[in-house]
Structure 1
Amino acid sequence: MRLAFFGTPEIAATVLRCLHRLGHDLVLVVSQPDKPKGRGQQLMATPVKQAALELGLLCQQPETIKNNREFQQSFSELNLDLVVVAAYGKIIPPDLLSLPQHGFINLHASLLPKYRGAAPVQWALLNGEKATGMTIFKIIEQLDAGPIIDQAAVEIGDDEDAGQLLARLFQLGCGRLENCLAAINNNSAKYIVQDESLATLAPTLKKEMGKINWQKSAREIHNQIRGLVLWPTAYAEWQEKRLKILKARPFASPLLTKNGRAGLVEEVVRGEGFIVQCGQGKIEILEVQPESGRPMSGYNFAIGHKLIPGETLLK
């Protein structure tokens, strides 16, 4: 089939490489514009653009595809069979959707109709879900509401974070693309309408969601840490500076210990991290990143910054 691909981050680059291996005629790759990154604020190519260049594929990066007549005209002249979308980051305008023979399909990291929106994996973890999955569906004008072509469920690991789960789900999606594309090509694909009564949302994350409230349970805080590890990252305050919490492990003790208080550092565990009391239970902080510093183990932070039992991490 003559395909185009829309995507931007590393998980999308994985899908692009998969499509290339399958041998389809990839005539166009579309990614978001390069953005400045790092302390030097130098322009960095998106992972999808980098992959496209490595594979010798044409890559375009329009600032917008909505009401972009020049892009829409050139796109219509490609005579595409299908467009595959994975984490592109922008909504596909309706006037593009009907141009390819079989339309647009999207890889979405949830079991639709649950968790429609920009952050399905993050919200699944924040909500303590035990399972999620990958859905391949046909894009329609309504967000993530198109008919389902393929779907597969997976269990979520107790300590799996958003980065790990996203990578695993998109690898799963890659493995299911070949049969999915073949079914679309020979018109044997089954398009299952989503049940609107089961739809839930996974809206864009907000920066303030990273602030840890130690009055919450250890399990809730653990879910916050692993759900927000990519962005905005869970954090506490220590000595009036922000301390990002990257990895932790909860303990299911019932309540605060006698004379304890939420946020109190109870113990430093040699070679591992430090234990903090929560509103319910305790949590061992295993990996942190100090303000303007690099990631390090919780133990190395405690030793290097002289964090001792009895001190309090503020929310």
Structure 2
Amino acid sequence: MKLIFMGTPDFAAVILKKMIEVGHEVIAVVTQPDKVKGRGKEMSFPPVKEVALEHNLKVYQPTKVREPDFVQKIREMQPEVIVVAAFGQLLPKELLDIPPYGCINVHGSLLPKYRGAAPIQYSIIDGEKETGITIMYMDVKLDTGDMILQKSLTIAPDETGGSLHDRMAVLGADLLAEALDQIKEGTAKRIPQDDSKATYVKIIDKSMGNIDFSLSAEQIERLIRGLNPWPSAFTHLDGKTLKLWVAQVEDTDVKAEPGEVIEIRKDAIVVMTGKGALILKELQLEGKKRMSADAFLRGYSLSKGTKLGRN
């Protein structure tokens, strides 16, 4: 099909590659503007732009896709379908009405659950046992359009935001290819969403990673996995940021304050929470590399009774 692809991060880049691989005619790629990144203040391309340039595709990076000049530009290209995956902007009705086969979105949840910007991370943070991909027709509201296909995916007990993201991107690419075939053949379904069952999730930001040790160990462990690799869960130790990468949950009868180190083991640091203990296995102190707890303890003197968090 003659399509325009709109997407920005790695998730979308995997899907764009699949569209090229299966032979769709990608006449243009639309992504977010380049950003300054790192201490060197170098300009960084969105992952989708990098894929587009590798395949000599035309790239557009509008600040706002609803600008009349840009809408007209899309209209002149006459796409049969517009595919959207983690693009980062809502499409106005003027754009949605252009392609005869509609605008199709790849969403990282089993809609109507987890509408919004970060469904993959929240499915782990909330303790879901499964999630999945929804391919849907877009409308002017956020993730409310009719569904075409859904496929579920089991969330592993040790799943991280990063590992689930990678698996979901591959599933999304495959399911989109299947949906586009159905659309072309005229066999695609339109399944309305049950709005009464809808839930919404907000954008992930760095402040979400600041651990509240009054929560249960189970909640904190899920937060650590859900925010791995970005933006990461963290606390503070002696005034420095301490990122927590891998942790386990353990029952305990010890009486102590949430955030208090209640035991130092050879290969772990045991911290009290609002319910149960959190066993820290991998961590990273500000200015240092990520390391196992035993390596950390060989280079840092930490004693029982130390309180994590800002004092």
Please list the CA deviations of residues 87-112 of structure 1 after superposition, one character each: whole Å capped at 9, or x if unmatched: 11111122100101111111111000
Question: Counterparts in 2 of 1:14-163, with a 5 A limit?
Answer: 14-66=14-66, 68-163=67-162
Equivalent position amino acid for 1:262 in 2: P
Residues 273 and 300 in structure 1, CA contact (< 8 A), matched pair in contact too: no
Equivalent position amino acid for 1:283 in 2: L
Q: Across the two proteins, how many residue pairs are aligned to each other?
A: 310
| Partner SS for 1:92 | coil
Partner of 2:269: 274
Partner of 2:256: 260
| Partner SS for 1:27 | strand
| Partner SS for 2:283 | strand
Match of 1:312 among 279, 283, 307: 307
Residue 275 (structure 1) shift: 2.1
C-alpha separation between the residues in 2 aligned to 1:190 and 1:262?
51
| Partner SS for 2:91 | coil
Residue 306 (structure 1) shift: 1.6
Equivalent position amino acid for 1:265 in 2: V
Partner of 1:296: 291
Q: Percent identity?
A: 40
Equivalent position amino acid for 1:169 in 2: M
Please list the CA deviations of residues 79-136 of structure 1 after superposition, one character each: whole Å capped at 9, or x if unmatched: 1111111111111122100101111111111000000000111222221111111111
CA change 1:274–1:175 in 2 (3 A) is: same
| Partner SS for 1:72 | helix
C-alpha separation between the residues in 2 aligned to 1:64 and 1:230?
29
Residues 215 and 275 in structure 2, CA contact (< 8 A), matched pair in contact too: yes
Residues 116 and 199 in structure 1, CA contact (< 8 A), matched pair in contact too: yes
Residue 256 (structure 1) shift: 4.2
Partner of 2:248: 249
Residues 106 and 176 in structure 2, CA contact (< 8 A), matched pair in contact too: no
Please list the CA deviations of residues 56-83 of structure 1 after superposition, one character each: whole Å capped at 9, or x if unmatched: 21111112212x2221111101111111
Partner of 2:185: 186
Residues 130 and 156 in structure 1, CA contact (< 8 A), matched pair in contact too: yes
Equivalent position amino acid for 2:258 in 1: A
Residue 312 (structure 1) shift: 2.1
Residue 274 (structure 1) shift: 2.0
C-alpha separation between the residues in 1 aligned to 2:31 and 2:265?
45
C-alpha separation between the residues in 2 aligned to 1:47 and 1:215?
38
C-alpha separation between the residues in 2 aligned to 1:220 and 1:160?
14
| Partner SS for 2:131 | strand
Superposed CA RMSD in Å reads: 1.5
Name structure 1 gaps, 5 residues minimum: none
Does 2:161 correspond to 1:166?
A: no
Match of 2:280 among 281, 285, 292: 285
C-alpha separation between the residues in 2 aligned to 1:176 and 1:110?
13
Residues 85 and 106 in structure 1, CA contact (< 8 A), matched pair in contact too: yes
Residues 268 and 275 in structure 1, CA contact (< 8 A), matched pair in contact too: yes
Please list the CA deviations of residues 140-170 of structure 1 after superposition, one character each: whole Å capped at 9, or x if unmatched: 0111000000101111111101111111111
Residue 264 (structure 1) shift: 2.3
C-alpha separation between the residues in 2 aligned to 1:206 and 1:59?
28
Name structure 2 gaps, 5 residues minimum: none
| Partner SS for 2:20 | helix
Please list the CA deviations of residues 262-300 of structure 1 after superposition, one character each: whole Å capped at 9, or x if unmatched: 222233443x43222222111221222222333222322
C-alpha separation between the residues in 2 aligned to 1:206 and 1:47?
20
Does 2:213 correspond to 1:214?
A: yes
C-alpha separation between the residues in 1 aligned to 2:248 and 2:68?
52
More displaced stretch, 207-216 vs 111-120: 207-216
**TM-score, normalization by structure 1:** 0.94
Residues 245 and 282 in structure 2, CA contact (< 8 A), matched pair in contact too: yes
Residues 134 and 150 in structure 2, CA contact (< 8 A), matched pair in contact too: yes
Partner of 2:223: 224
Residues 302 and 308 in structure 1, CA contact (< 8 A), matched pair in contact too: no
C-alpha separation between the residues in 1 aligned to 2:92 and 2:49?
21
C-alpha separation between the residues in 1 aligned to 2:119 and 2:183?
25
C-alpha separation between the residues in 2 aligned to 1:179 and 1:232?
33
C-alpha separation between the residues in 2 aligned to 1:206 and 1:169?
21
| Partner SS for 1:184 | helix
